[in-house]
Structure 1
Amino acid sequence: MLKRLAALALGLGLISAPAAAQVDLGAGFTITGSAIGTTDYVFRNISQTRNRPAAQGSVELSHETGLYVGAFASTATFVGTDARQEVDLIAGYRRTISSFTFDISGIGYTYPGYDRQTGQQELSFMEAMLKLKYELDPVTFVGTAAYSPNFFGRSGDGYWLEGGVDVKLPVLDIVLSGRVGYQWIERNARFGAPDYFAYSAYATIPIAYGFSASAGYYGTDISQRECGGLKICDGRFIASLTWTF
C-alpha cells in the first residue's frame, strides 16, 4: 500500500512559466534561470506536494549551437515516504528554423534524501522527450511526446502525449493557454492509478522586473477511488509567481 500511495503522488508537466531572459556569458554561451512560488506542484496534473504550496527553481546553460544542460528543483511530499524534494537533470538540443522550434532532451528525475523502505519502489526514473513549437503570431501551437523505459515507481514503460495552444492578447501581453494530454503506464497496479487524460487552462501575465503571475485550472479523469482515496488527482485551481533572469 505504501508504494501505491507514493507512486500516486507523481503524475513535466510543470506549471508553465514564461521564457526567461538570457544572460550572455560570451563564447556563444548563455544562462537562464527562474524562481517560482506556487500554490501546488503538479506533474501531469497530479499533485506532488499533497495539495500544498511549493518552492521551485530552475537554471539552464545553453550554447549557440543549440546544445544545453539544465536543472529543476522543487519541494515535494509523497505519502508514506521521506521524499521531500525533487531534482531533475536535463540535457538536450534545441533549434529554431523560421517559426518552427524542436527540442530533444533526456531528463533524469531524482529525489535526493529518499530512503527506500521494505515494500517501497525506487522513485527516480529517466525520460526521453521531444517538444515541438510553431509560432503563428499571436498564436503558438505546442506539442510534447515523452517516453520512459521504467516510469515512476518502477511501473514499466510510460508514454506521454500532449498538445496545446498559447494565445497572446493585445491587452497587457496576457497569454491564454490550454493543454490536453494522455499518460499510458505499463504496470498500472504498481503505479497506483490507471492510464489517464489530463487537461488544463491558464493565463500568464508579465508584471515587471522579470516577475510574472499565472493562474489556471488543472484536472484529470482519475476518480478519488482510482486515486487510492486521495485528492491529489482531483481538479484544482493553481496560482504561481515567477521571477526569471
Structure 2
Amino acid sequence: MKKTLLSVAAVLAVGAGSAQAADLPAKVYTKAPPVVVFNPWDVAFGTSVSSDYVFRGITQSNHQPSVSGYIEPRYNINPDLQLYAGVSASSISFANRAAAEIDGYVGIRPTFGPAAFDFGFWYYGYPGGQCIDTVQGGGNLCPLGSSAIANGNVMKKDVSFYEVYGKVSYTFNDVFTAGASVNYSPDFLRFGTSGTYAAVNAKITMPGTFFGTSGIGSYISGEYGHQWLGTTDAFYAFTALPDYNTWNVGVGFTYKVFTLDLRYTDSDLSKAGCQAITSDFTSNGVTSGWCGARFIAKLSADVTLGALK
C-alpha cells in the first residue's frame, strides 16, 4: 500500500514539474498584442486674432486688433525630451512702418516628472521698415531715403533682435501649475543696450466637470515680470531707458481646438518712460499711452497633426 502511494506521489510530482515547465514555452504560442508604431515627428500649428497685441506690457499694434499664425515642427527623442523649431508672424504697427513681425525660433523641452523645462533661441524680425530721423532725407545717423514724423520721434530701419531663454513649469496637480522664465538679449530692439526679462506665472485649470458635459474647459492665469534695460546708443541720444514691472491676469475658455482668452494687462511705466521705449508715432513727443492698462480679448485655434489622425 505504501509503495502504491509513493508511486502515485512520484507520478504527480513529475506531472506537476512537467506542467510548470510547459508553462514557459506555451506562452510563445499566445497571440501577441498589436505593435504600436511610434512616430517621433509631429507638427503644431495655429492662428489667432486679438483686440490688441501687447508684448511685456507694451502694445505692438497701436492698440489696434492684430492677427497671428505659427507652424512648429517637433521631434520627440523620447516621451520626456522634445526638440522643436518654428516660424510665426504677427501684424504690428511701428513708427518705422515695418511690414510685420516675423519670428523664428528653435529649442529643446526636457521633462522630469511634473517639472517641464524649455530652453531656446528666438529671433524677432521686423522686415520692411525705414529709418525715421529728425533730419528728413538722411543725416548722420540715417542713410538717404529716411523720413521724419511730426512728433520728432526717431526709430531705426531695422529693429530686429534675438533672445535666448529658459523656462520651467511645475505641475502640482490637475488644477495648479506654476512657473518662471528668463529672456536675455544682447541688443534689445537694436537700442544698443542689453535687455533681460524675468517673470513668474501661475495657472489654475478648472475641473473638467465645471461646465458639465458641454466639453468646455476653463482656466485662470497670470504673470508678473520685470524688464531690465540700459542706456541706448548714439542714434537714440544715449538715453537711459527705464526698467519696469508688468503684469497680467485673465480667464480663458477652451473648446476642442479653440481658446478664448480675456485678459487685463498693465505696467508701472510712466508715460514719459513709455515714450522713450516705444518711439510712439501717435504721441505728443513727450508722453505715450502705449504702456497703460488694457483689457484684451484673444481667440485662437491650435492643433497638432498627431491629434488630427
Determine helix, strand or coil for the equivalent of 2:181: strand
Q: What TM-score do the two structures reach when normalised by structure 2?
A: 0.67
Counterpart of 1:92, as a letter, is G
Runs ≥4 in structure 1, deviation > 3 angstroms?
A: 188-193
Whether the aligned pair in 2 keeps the contact of 1:192 and 1:227 (CA below 8 Å) is no
What do the CA deviations read for 1:83-118 (whole angstroms, capped 9, x no partner)?
A: 131011000011111111101000110012123342
Per the TM alignment, residue 143 of structure 1 is displaced from its structure 2 partner at its CA by: 0.8
Figure out how many residues of one structure are paired with residues of the other and give that number.
Answer: 218
Query: For the structure 1 residues 192 and 236, does the alpha-carbon distance in structure 2 shift closer, same or farther, using more than 3 Å as the test?
Result: farther
Q: In the alignment, which residue of structure 2 is the partner of 1:123?
A: 159
Q: 2:191 aligns with which of 138, 154, 179?
A: 154
Question: Which has more strand, going by share of residues?
Answer: 1
Is there any run of 5+ residues in structure 1 with no aligned partner, and where? 1-25
- Structure 1 residue 202: Cα displacement: 0.8
What is the CA–CA distance in structure 2 between the aligned matches of 1:149 and 1:213, rounded to whole Å?
A: 35
User: 230, 252, 255: which one pairs with 1:207?
Assistant: 255
Percent identity of the aligned residues?
27
> Could you say which residue in structure 2 is the equivalent of 1:184?
228
What displacement does 1:225 show?
A: 2.6
Answering whether residue 162 of structure 2 is matched by residue 133 of structure 1, we say no
Rg larger for: 2
Give the residue type in structure 1 aligned to 2:189.
F
State the SS of the aligned residue for 2:127.
coil
Give the structure 2 partner of residue 67 of structure 1: 83
Contact 1:127/1:146 (8 A) holds in 2:
yes
CA distance in 1 between partners of 2:274 and 2:241 (Å): 6
Aligned equivalent of 1:230, options 288, 293, 309: 288
Give, in whole Å, the separation in 2 of the partners of 1:88 and 1:142: 24
| DSSP-derived class of the 2:264 partner | strand
TM-score norm. by structure 1 comes to 0.84
* Cα deviations by residue, 1:222-241 (Å, 9 ceiling, x for unpaired): 12232222211011000010
Distance 1:215 1:152, change over 3 A: same
Distance (whole Å) between structure 2 residues aligned to residue 96 and residue 111 of structure 1 = 33
Q: Which residue of 2 aligns with 1:92?
A: 107
CA distance in structure 2 between the partners assigned to 1:96 and 1:163 by the alignment: 19
> Counterparts of 1:31 and 1:76 in 2: how far apart (Å)?
26
Q: Does 1:244 align with 2:288?
A: no
Q: Identify the structure with the greater helix proportion.
A: 2
Secondary structure at 2:61 match in 1: coil
RMSD over aligned Cα, in angstroms? 1.7
Question: 2:243 — aligned with what?
Answer: 195
* Inter-CA distance 192–27: structure 2 relative to 1 (3 Å threshold): farther
Separation in 2 of the partners of 1:154 and 1:129? 19
Task: Give the alignment partner of residue 102 of structure 1, picking from 117, 134, 149.
Answer: 117
- 1:152 and 1:161 map into 2 onto residues whose CA distance is 17
- Identify which range, 177-186 or 199-208, moves more after superposition: 199-208
Q: Counterparts of 2:232 and 2:62 in 1: how far apart (Å)?
A: 20
CA distance in 2, matches of 1:33, 1:44: 23
